[in-house]
Copies of this chain bind each other. A is one copy, B any other.
Amino acid sequence: MTAPPNLPLPPNLPPRGVERALARQRHRYEDEVERLIDATFRVMRERDTANPSVSEILAASGLSTTAFYRHFPTKDDLLLTLLERAHDITRRHIEERLAAESDPVQRIAEWVRAMFDLLRTDDLVVANRPFLLAHPRLLERFPAELGTWFDALVAPLATAIADARRAAPGAPAPPAATMPSATTPAATTPSAAPTRPDVPGSDAAVDARLAMQHVFGILVDHAALRRRLEAQTVDSVISYTWRAVLAAGPATPSS
């Protein structure tokens, strides 16, 4: 907003009209973004796809092509916004469930339950299916973003594992090997870490990522089959995870 040279504005004049107009514009734009996001979620659920077309989204939102591209230069920008919201909701849900639990061993179980809550009801199965089924292709398309968001989901589990190990004197020893995140294309670990882990014992963050792998794999499979998680399955997974992240294993790996 620079003034034309022949009509200089007095300095420090509060541009009240401009601010009011901009505030109105801001509200209109925010409303448009929300309508586009709501419409996209709706189309995804109804058409059971994580890749709805722009025309479907426009039809469902009642907005124009111009409005769409004003906020999202590409459809990927919209998809990323949606994915970020979905991950954020999951992250906050995990944090809420874990905050209520002081025992770190039980916090590990709560983490598993919180993840499985993604398919807790039939409505949630319908809402989360598109994202779960599209996971491989989404990871291929947005590796950095998904890597960061998955790391955020895994972080509270890694903390719980580390806390549980500190609390139990007989628990596995701390870090021996490090594993690059399977969801982050980032560099291979440059450290001179040993090529094989000292068993028993492993890095809490590595183990947390592995726990995410089996929990997420079960979510994907159940979503593909449109099945909710059964209590018995959840308990089996908690038991498996506890053993994997807290117990001591065979003493000598070999190649």
A interface with B by C-beta (< 8 Å):
105-106, 109, 132-137, 139-140, 143, 172, 177-180, 182-183, 185, 188-189, 193, 195-197, 199-200, 202, 206-207, 210-211, 213-214, 216-218, 220-225, 227, 230-233, 235-250, 253-254
Contact = CB atoms under 8 A, between A and B. Distances in A.
Nearest 3 pairs between A and B by C-beta?
A: A247-B247, A244-B244, A243-B249
A152 to B, nearest CB: 16
Interface of A is mostly: helix
A179 B236 contact: yes
Q: How many of these chains are in the complex?
A: 2
Contact of A233 (B179, B202, B217, B231): B179
Nearest to A137: B133
Given A180-B232, A210-B240, 11 more contacts: A106-B254, A109-B254, A143-B224, A177-B236, A182-B217, A210-B237, A216-B217, A239-B249, A240-B244, A240-B245, A242-B253
A243 B132 contact: no
A241 B207 CA distance: 10
Given A217-B217, A237-B210, A243-B244, A225 B139 contact: yes
A136 B243 CA distance: 28
Contacts of A133: 136-137, 140
Nearest to A199: B239
Contacts of A233: 179-180, 182
A136 B179 contact: no
Contact of A136 (B136, B183, B200, B210): B136
Contacts of A193: 232
B242 A250 contact: yes
21 contacts: A133-B136, A136-B221, A136-B223, A139-B221, A140-B225, A177-B236, A179-B236, A182-B221, A182-B233, A183-B221, A196-B231, A197-B235, A197-B239, A199-B242, A199-B243, A213-B214, A213-B218, A214-B214, A242-B249, A242-B250, A247-B247
Contact of A247 (B217, B243, B253): B243
A253 to B, nearest CB: 6
Contacts of A248: 243, 247
Given A206-B236, A237-B210, A249 B249 contact: no
Given A199-B239, A218-B213, A178 B136 contact: no
